[in-house]
């Protein structure tokens, strides 16, 4: 189950729009196809989007290497196109900026072919680091489970499909289950695009981890009835005050967790923190096509032409977040000082 693969100069993405019914891969021959894959959610999840965009720049650089133009300027234009694909997950912008600064740091005498090799190395590093980061987040997450509990609940998909390796929230869940810390995972289906049903439930089932799928509207009742001891979710962007943007529905789950006295944990790499913004109000929230709400699997489930609001993400205020699990350790409130120290 590998969401993204770079081999012999070719980028292969698992087409996540077809899961779980069809396991099919997309070969991205150029950066335009990478941009399209990000836009269409064929590759999705904050860290995976970042890694895909990094290789998009490698593919762009390969096109530029044979042309007589200002390489760095042309690369910046490609970066701008990739930046337009999705607005909320900050890992996209983080990875693109990191690639551009790798190119900028190289001496001006370096040839385009050498720059291309350097960019490929940087993209591979981004991918490899995400693998290590996933492992460290999972290890740190275990600290939050000193005793075995009955069950945990997750929303959306923050697993292998959303990252390069075992995932962020699902990395903690995988590790926790293996260590005997809980017996069952409840997965919200995550309307409207059903990442919980199609992706999280599939990943956990493939791994043999007991998972129970519920609709989003069941989360409160399940917390009350089924001994849910913690909620663990991923994140797409975290502000410096600890406000967390994640898949739409996450905020409701956090409110429900507070009502039931259940800790609400966020698992995310440092690359998901946006050190340039003070609070969640500054996070751009993607709005997607109304048809994602009015139709399921191509079948209309609402009156034709109905007014629809379809934000793809929401922001959970820091006061509802019990802890943030990063590769550098577990952050606890107050988040301001803890997050500022991550920047160093
Ligand atoms: O719209 P998506 O599928 O890209 O949204 C994904 C999420 O919101 C995930 O929960 C998030 O990226 C967590 S990162 C592992």
Question: How confident is the model over 208-265, as pLDDT tens digits?
Answer: 999 999 999 999 999 999 899 999 999 999 999 999 999 999 999 999 999 999 999 9
Tell how strand 323-326 and strand 329-331 pair up: antiparallel
**Would you say the ipTM is above 0.85?**
yes
- Residue-wise pLDDT for 189-206, tens only, equals 999 999 999 999 999 999
Q: Are 227 and 49 in contact (CB under 8 A)?
A: no
Q: Is the pLDDT of residue 68 over 80?
A: no
The answer to whether domain 4-135 and domain 137-341 are alike in fold is: no
Q: What is the 3-state secondary structure (H, E, C) of 9-41?
A: CEEEEECCCCCCCCCCEEEECCHHHHHHHHHCC
> Does the annotation place 343 within a ligand binding site?
no
- C-alpha 89/C-alpha 237 separation (Å) is 6
Q: Where are the domains of the chain?
A: 4-135, 137-341
Q: Is 243 in the pocket of ligand 1 (CB under 6 A)?
A: no
Q: How many residues does the chain have?
A: 344
Q: Is 230 in the pocket of ligand 1 (CB under 6 A)?
A: no
pTM: 0.97
pLDDT, averaged across the chain: 97
Q: Is 247 in the pocket of ligand 1 (CB under 6 A)?
A: yes
Instruction: For the domain made up of 137-341, give the CATH fold.
Output: Rossmann fold (3.40.50)
Give nearest CA residue, ligand 1 atom 15. Answer: 158
Strands (E) across the chain are located at 4-7, 10-14, 25-28, 151-154, 184-188, 211-214, 228-233, 237-238, 244-247, 264-267, 295-296, 299-300, 313-316, 323-326, 329-331
- C-alpha 170/C-alpha 335 separation (Å) is 23
CA of 115 to the centre of ligand 1 (A): 31
Assigned CATH for 4-135: 1.20.120.420
CA of 193 to the centre of ligand 1 (A): 11
- Residue-wise pLDDT for 87-100, tens only, equals 999 999 999 999 99
> Does the annotation place 328 within a ligand binding site?
no
Give nearest CA residue, ligand 1 atom 12. Answer: 45
Q: Is the pLDDT of residue 1 over 90?
A: no
């Amino acid at each position: 189950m590998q969401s993204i693969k770079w081999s012999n100069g070719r980028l292969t993405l698992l087409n996540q729009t077809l899961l779980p019914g069809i396991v099919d891969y997309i070969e991205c021959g150029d950066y335009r196809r990478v941009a399209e894959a990000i836009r269409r959610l064929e590759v999705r999840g904050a860290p995976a989007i970042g890694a895909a965009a990094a290789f998009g720049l490698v593919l762009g650089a390969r096109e530029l290497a044979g042309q007589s133009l200002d390489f760095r300027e042309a690369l910046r234009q490609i970066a701008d196109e990739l930046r337009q694909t999705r607005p909320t997950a900050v890992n996209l912008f983080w990875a693109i900026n990191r690639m551009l600064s790798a190119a900028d740091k190289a001496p001006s005498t370096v040839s385009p072919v050498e720059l291309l090799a350097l960019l490929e190395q940087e993209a591979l590093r981004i991918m490899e680091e995400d693998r290590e980061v996933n492992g460290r987040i999972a290890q740190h997450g275990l600290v939050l489970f000193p005793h075995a509990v009955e069950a945990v609940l997750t929303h959306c998909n923050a697993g292998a499909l959303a990252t390069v390796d075992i995932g962020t929230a699902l990395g903690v869940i995988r590790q926790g289950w293996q260590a005997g810390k809980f017996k069952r995972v409840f997965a919200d289906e995550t309307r409207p695009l059903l990442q919980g049903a199609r992706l999280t439930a599939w990943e956990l089932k493939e791994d043999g981890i007991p998972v129970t799928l519920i609709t989003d509207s069941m989360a409160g009742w399940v917390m009350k009835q089924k001994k849910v001891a913690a909620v663990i979710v991923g994140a797409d962007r975290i502000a410096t005050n600890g406000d967390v943007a994640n898949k739409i529905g996450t905020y409701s789950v956090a409110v429900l967790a507070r009502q039931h006295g259940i800790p609400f944990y966020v698992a995310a790499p440092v690359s998901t923190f946006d050190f340039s913004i003070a609070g969640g109000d500054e996070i751009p929230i993607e709005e997607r096509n109304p048809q994602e709400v009015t139709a399921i699997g191509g079948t209309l489930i609402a009156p034709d032409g109905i007014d629809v609001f379809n934000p793809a993400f929401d922001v959970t205020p820091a006061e509802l977040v019990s802890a943030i699990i990063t590769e550098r350790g577990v952050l606890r409130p107050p988040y301001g000082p803890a997050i500022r120290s991550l920047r160093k």
